[in-house]
Structure 1
């Protein structure tokens, strides 16, 4: 099995650097052991670093990468339900104009097309001052900060405990399987699913045989033949939604309402059908209406011109559209202040200018646009911004009418008929043209995304179904009947030459089955994890270099959640994973600390300091041994495909990425098993988030602190302060009702908190008055719109003025209180007892908000969403919800409840991962 042959070729796409020796002699091993006399097995440490970056004191070897503070965004190949305007607009669109950057690139940059910014990958650039994230606090782990045990030690012990439990569980499962009566099975066909890790740009065009990556296995949906506890995992049928078999294909004469009624009446509980999804054929009949194209470009009004060197110029429609892409993004500093973004945009813009005859001035004279710094897109930005605000200011009735018209135009594309069942389509809109942004330090950021034409689109549909009509004057590239494919349409985009697919929605049966299979695969790993860990610990000392490299890689993937990584082409982003780590991505600090610094998935910087087994530290030192240097591969005798092929020997379909799902789910399962959550709903939610946070840190799911986090915390603090001010006013009202209370309760009880000085009080009172005015005004406008829609006359402004008198009275009341220092009791039949009850309610609200604020602050540097949605089995969240009586809505949004409908309906509180 070993790829130990000295002639092992270097992986295609990798630089032809220095290659490690095929075998490690005992002399080399002994010599390295002498250099590190403490060598021996130790439990791996836990990375507890995340968040903002600080100066780093490690000086050799130099860490290569600059830092990127880009927060990872949710992934999506198409607009995912947004309007074309939203899909192509900046993420900063909702920022007040006063807080946006200056919008003339010429005023912000002296750069022009002659001074080309570096296109060099981060790993090869001269580095700025390298920094490291601070350690996570005890509070971020949901622990008390007064513990005598250091957090790092505590986490290591917890991780060791969890791994020992996993070993016992695996042994128990195999022991139970031996006792169970043997059932003859057909041998499984092992097929690697490494294609899922391959960038879209590297994937082959889908064919009838290999469209979907992994083929479904033929055995039961529940691979673990578990003892008596398996009965607990069995589905409890929801009496409101009894399980029934589907009726097959929907008759053509049935209406949409008939189909919807039938879907509600006969819910298809596919997770109870272990035979579904066994073969490679994904559907028998498939009908759909194709895709929706973005609207054609509407030229700018004649008075709106781009300026070049201060002179308005006219552009061909195609070039003007590209100028509009950039002009519409001037409020997005993250993009338009990025030299790579500007360089790429201007190159593509100039190509279109050359193709369309350049620009002309008001006299029709040709103007060659040669320098980016002389371009001013501000007039375009101002026009587009005014249009956006105009649209935002439309009356609610008009917005509703526009939305209704949009929904009407899209309704035929939102659903397909898949094997006779109505299924929602996820992304039926073709991506509009625009500027590619990418994530992190993507080298192609700023490139122009071309408009996708019908001639580029392949349709996948049933043979008997009617093929959707392409737009007038166009034709489809191809029509396929690929029953092994779960895609409805596909095309190739021009930036990374990646294939984009129209798929079913996240809450569809097909998508749900895919998620279900993914987590069942992770559950199956429980049975083998102990053998895998024992084997790689043994191979860490192998004399065969390929085996030792593979064992080290599996160790890093298992213990520190590194992605396996794939080989990149020359024109792709310089991102790496474990198998493609280079010399400069790893820094070794004796006795056993390893520092990783590289661009990971989506060009997001991965920075981590971890303590590793001494043998692993020694191996990495060996893999970096001279004459290796910058640019050389560390795991030069290992590829992702070879690694996954090795793993599949333990378990069919096992790949490196399954470890992330297994480790997160198994860790959460162990934490939930030992958890006792009490108190209010917010307190229970915090308990869940504390457990989720531990999983995220133990499994290295980290993120940079969001730019708006401090502001959000400040707003929450201000709200709490406002509630405390309300409490103070109520106490003053109590004194107004009974002045003797001051002596009974003590003067301190009635004093105003020190942080609420007179200046703050006046500002807060003014804000309360303004808030009431806005509420009254909005209610007046809404009532008027309703009257108009019902054919009644609008109310006059006099009515609004009368309603606003309430706010005026409040303002007068505050002024009087500030002058006299007394607060008169409010409300009919006011009593001290009622005031006490109001105080208690406010106290409860304050405590709830404090819990929520602490939870939010603790989550700022931990990607809880990544863990909860992608790696923790959603059934574990459902178990917590049912076990501790917390509404599932507190954990899953409406979209996620639809996505994980199978999990919500398939388990009870006794289910175990």
Structure 2
């Protein structure tokens, strides 16, 4: 299913514009010149500012709001808001639910003849910031950990903060963008004029001049219509070579031909002639969905206790109790008061509807207090089941998996216009407790079991409709050729519609990604006009125009989401257009602190420097009598903003800026790269470029709680390799004691990182590690013997194998006592030892690169940029240009998702 379990409802309540919260004060329609001049006098001039770059991502004990006096009144001070919960981890890669994937009845209506404007906030964007620390309850509210001045560390080769350097780099990139945009438009204008003068059009290109056929330049094709491999700076990829018939005497069987046809690749990115019509398919066949297994009641001896008394209840209520009991080890959920409250409300309601609870004698037990409920017996039962499942022999696990795979095999693929396409998630989500992201107000609510009567099937008119479970029926059968969904239903938590879609590596999903990045490429042509316009409008006397220009500035410079209208029962998340008075703190001369709950209730906290005109505008938008609850952009809506942007180019919305800025920045960084060195070094250099994109585009995160532990483990691995080097050097002395004088005594000294206590601990670790490997291999071999029906090895065999670990332990003890290391292996020589040292040096160097990379990226969300915002073709260009395997950047899942990018461009392609 493309939708996550906490998708928002389709229907949105009207935007409040500050009238339902706070005092309801609204900005004046026109800004008098006197107000502008007064603000100019109040705000001191900024010195050495770096507008457009985040300068910190840490907490402030106290914040100054609107430092200068306004209308003669001094601004109050307030503590940093504790109501903003800290962030929570999230999946970096999430697929976008396209508007055209939804049923016709569920889409936003657009008047005929008008361009449809997507007013939703970035549905495919991953959250910018903050991961939740493990073991912390969502109710313990805290700010992100304090970061360095730039929140990204200092630069290595200078005393200047990296943020200041990147600010200059960002300004340079924006100037280059302006230059390129003008060049593109000039080139198109010249091409258009030339066609007009010569009377030549693409359709008339067959005419000959001087007996020579005139070819149509690809430069005449608009960006949005170009295939990626046909860009003028790129080398056109070779077309698939037709397979020659083998002259050798070899008869191909029907199975061979079928397998070949099955593997034949449809390179849709080389055939964009179909355009973007509304009809997505002609024929569609699939087998429906897989339902979760029915509920199995708990054994009679496993019961929830209330006030110490075991109670019995109807299966519907017992199942809900089981949901809570099974997750007692998830403390950050079950200890959350909101989670407890919502669960208990739904649980007691179900109890009431199903006859309540009774004790062993059948007497009624009135369950009224959550604190008296004891779910421990249920937890112990499910925990024992989990442990038993993990302990199953490998052969048994393999058998169970094979049975499951066989059952689900018919649902894995569908036939889409005669082509076999993989289905994304064909499983109906099982019932359970809703968790949500961040501090979601509905966390803990019961997700009800989805019945076939709730599910609408989308399938071809001529195809066989899949049969529903026995005794049930489908809600509806549709033949919506404009939708890319196979099945849909509405869940009960947020009223969101869940869809069964094609997999991320399918043609349809690939085309969706392709269009997204091509839309960003199209913005290259107009970006200078957009920026020039909003910079002029920052001083417009009309409040609505000035608010709109300021919002576009923030969206462009700081990658803020546009924001969406919210209903009263939804999470209080905001974006740029829905920012309220309390979400922005102003620090003269030009610093702005953002502090609000963003998408998925993830906290966005950042301090940035802005242009002084923008700072002045925000002061005007916050001018008294506005107060907490009043909206900053009270004369602007997301839909109005996107409608305005669509005047520059069709389909331009606020979220396109995020993709454009990330991709264009990465393209500029890669353009000037001339790398040498090992693959590991090149990977670090790529990640450094990715990191700069993330910083420039404000894709921040707080340092993960496990970061220090991970760095310590990596440090220990490096020290372990250094210890191996020291032992090999001691072996060299054992082979030839004179070599110490020849190579110098310093070479054979113990590394400064290694002390005696650490060496003893590391030796114990190596011995224990070897023991575990021996035992694991022994058990695995025994399981295989058992599965094959052969006699298992006896425990004596294991003891004999463990002697190797015992010998290693004795060897270490002897080395510690004598201070000497005997040469190991058959025929050890100085040359072999030196070769081993060289290998270890390379491994240490690679790990040092990894450690540096990990430390540099601890506060930057690289995955967010690389997966959602940087055109994947740029990563492919880097891979091919510098000879780095694409596997170093894309996992198997991402390689399937971006298969179109990997196969459609060469090293000369440009964004």
TM-score over 0.5 for the pair: yes
1:144 is displaced (CA, Å) by 4.2
1:890 is displaced (CA, Å) by 0.3
Distance in 1 (alpha carbons) for counterparts of 2:142 and 2:862? 29
**Distance change (3 Å), C-alpha of 1:824 and 1:234:** closer
1:741 is displaced (CA, Å) by 2.6
Equivalent residue, structure 2, for 1:900: 898
1:258 is displaced (CA, Å) by 6.8
1:178 is displaced (CA, Å) by 0.8
- Range with greater deviation from structure 2 (353-362 or 170-179): 353-362
Distance in 2 (alpha carbons) for counterparts of 1:135 and 1:608? 13
**Which of 170, 173, 194 pairs up with 2:181?**
170
Equivalent residue, structure 2, for 1:154: 165
**Distance change (3 Å), C-alpha of 1:609 and 1:240:** farther
Equivalent residue, structure 2, for 1:683: 681
**Distance change (3 Å), C-alpha of 1:716 and 1:560:** same
**Distance change (3 Å), C-alpha of 1:39 and 1:726:** closer
- Contact 1:10–1:636 under 8 Å retained in 2: no
- Range with greater deviation from structure 2 (617-626 or 370-379): 370-379
**Which of 8, 15, 35 pairs up with 1:11?**
15
**Which of 23, 32, 43 pairs up with 2:39?**
32
Distance in 2 (alpha carbons) for counterparts of 1:503 and 1:695? 31
1:133 is displaced (CA, Å) by 4.3
- Contact 2:287–2:411 under 8 Å retained in 1: yes
Equivalent residue, structure 1, for 2:866: 868
Equivalent residue, structure 1, for 2:779: 781
Question: 3-state DSSP class of the match of 2:265?
Answer: coil
1:274 is displaced (CA, Å) by 1.8
Distance in 1 (alpha carbons) for counterparts of 2:741 and 2:287? 78
Deviations 1:759-788 (A, max 9, x none): 332322222122112212222222233333
Distance in 1 (alpha carbons) for counterparts of 2:665 and 2:392? 50
Equivalent residue, structure 2, for 1:135: 148
Distance in 2 (alpha carbons) for counterparts of 1:390 and 1:255? 46
Indicate whether 1:698 and 2:699 are aligned: no
**Which of 473, 485, 488 pairs up with 1:475?**
473
RMSD, aligned CA? 2.9
Equivalent residue, structure 1, for 2:642: 644
Unaligned runs of 5+ in 2: 1-12, 66-75, 97-132, 200-219, 245-252
**Distance change (3 Å), C-alpha of 1:664 and 1:373:** same
- Range with greater deviation from structure 2 (294-303 or 66-75): 66-75
- Contact 1:286–1:419 under 8 Å retained in 2: yes
- Contact 1:427–1:502 under 8 Å retained in 2: yes
Deviations 1:13-46 (A, max 9, x none): 8534111111112222222223236499987230
Distance in 2 (alpha carbons) for counterparts of 1:717 and 1:227? 43
1:753 is displaced (CA, Å) by 3.2
**Distance change (3 Å), C-alpha of 1:662 and 1:77:** closer
**Distance change (3 Å), C-alpha of 1:10 and 1:276:** closer
**Distance change (3 Å), C-alpha of 1:343 and 1:241:** farther
**Distance change (3 Å), C-alpha of 1:657 and 1:495:** same
- Contact 1:539–1:551 under 8 Å retained in 2: yes
Question: 3-state DSSP class of the match of 2:486?
Answer: strand
Per the normalisation by structure 1, the TM-score is 0.85
Counting matched residue pairs gives 817
Indicate whether 1:537 and 2:535 are aligned: yes
1:562 is displaced (CA, Å) by 0.5
Distance in 2 (alpha carbons) for counterparts of 1:242 and 1:868? 36
Equivalent residue, structure 2, for 1:290: 288
Mapping of 1:44-83 within 5 angstroms? 44-50=51-57, 53=59, 55-58=61-64, 60-62=76-78, 63-64=80-81, 65-74=83-92
Distance in 1 (alpha carbons) for counterparts of 2:134 and 2:168? 48
Question: 3-state DSSP class of the match of 2:493?
Answer: coil
Distance in 1 (alpha carbons) for counterparts of 2:241 and 2:710? 40
1:717 is displaced (CA, Å) by 1.0
1:12 is displaced (CA, Å) by 5.1
- Range with greater deviation from structure 2 (222-231 or 684-693): 222-231
Question: 3-state DSSP class of the match of 1:574?
Answer: coil
- Contact 2:86–2:142 under 8 Å retained in 1: no
Equivalent residue, structure 2, for 1:664: 662
1:751 is displaced (CA, Å) by 2.7
Unaligned runs of 5+ in 1: 1-8, 79-98, 103-107, 109-116, 119-126, 186-218, 244-253
Question: 3-state DSSP class of the match of 1:566?
Answer: coil
Equivalent residue, structure 1, for 2:124: none
1:750 is displaced (CA, Å) by 2.2
- Contact 2:17–2:635 under 8 Å retained in 1: no
**Which of 587, 590, 598 pairs up with 2:588?**
590
Distance in 2 (alpha carbons) for counterparts of 1:227 and 1:500? 33
- Range with greater deviation from structure 2 (494-503 or 833-842): 833-842
Distance in 1 (alpha carbons) for counterparts of 2:326 and 2:623? 51
- Contact 1:13–1:570 under 8 Å retained in 2: no
Distance in 2 (alpha carbons) for counterparts of 1:47 and 1:533? 20
1:234 is displaced (CA, Å) by 5.7
Distance in 2 (alpha carbons) for counterparts of 1:848 and 1:175? 47
**Distance change (3 Å), C-alpha of 1:530 and 1:40:** farther
Distance in 2 (alpha carbons) for counterparts of 1:340 and 1:257? 60
Equivalent residue, structure 1, for 2:224: 223
Equivalent residue, structure 1, for 2:671: 673
Mapping of 1:344-493 within 5 angstroms? 344-493=342-491
- Contact 2:877–2:907 under 8 Å retained in 1: yes
Indicate whether 1:653 and 2:666 are aligned: no
**Distance change (3 Å), C-alpha of 1:132 and 1:723:** closer
Deviations 1:275-317 (A, max 9, x none): 2342100000000000001111111222222222222222221
1:896 is displaced (CA, Å) by 0.4
Per the normalisation by structure 2, the TM-score is 0.85
Equivalent residue, structure 1, for 2:301: 303
1:486 is displaced (CA, Å) by 0.5
1:628 is displaced (CA, Å) by 1.0
Question: 3-state DSSP class of the match of 1:479?
Answer: strand
**Distance change (3 Å), C-alpha of 1:13 and 1:573:** farther
1:754 is displaced (CA, Å) by 4.6
Equivalent residue, structure 2, for 1:519: 517
- Contact 2:229–2:236 under 8 Å retained in 1: no
Equivalent residue, structure 2, for 1:823: 821
Equivalent residue, structure 2, for 1:503: 501
1:175 is displaced (CA, Å) by 0.4
1:801 is displaced (CA, Å) by 2.2
1:505 is displaced (CA, Å) by 0.2
Equivalent residue, structure 1, for 2:3: none
Equivalent residue, structure 2, for 1:263: 262
Deviations 1:622-663 (A, max 9, x none): 111111111011111111000000000000010000000000
1:53 is displaced (CA, Å) by 4.1
**Which of 751, 754, 757 pairs up with 1:756?**
754
1:800 is displaced (CA, Å) by 2.1
Question: 3-state DSSP class of the match of 2:156?
Answer: coil
Distance in 1 (alpha carbons) for counterparts of 2:780 and 2:14? 68
1:727 is displaced (CA, Å) by 1.2
Distance in 1 (alpha carbons) for counterparts of 2:95 and 2:661? 28
Distance in 2 (alpha carbons) for counterparts of 1:179 and 1:241? 39
**Distance change (3 Å), C-alpha of 1:260 and 1:330:** farther
- Contact 1:684–1:886 under 8 Å retained in 2: yes
Equivalent residue, structure 2, for 1:21: 28
Distance in 1 (alpha carbons) for counterparts of 2:258 and 2:380? 48
Mapping of 1:796-835 within 5 angstroms? 796-835=794-833
Mapping of 1:88-103 within 5 angstroms? none
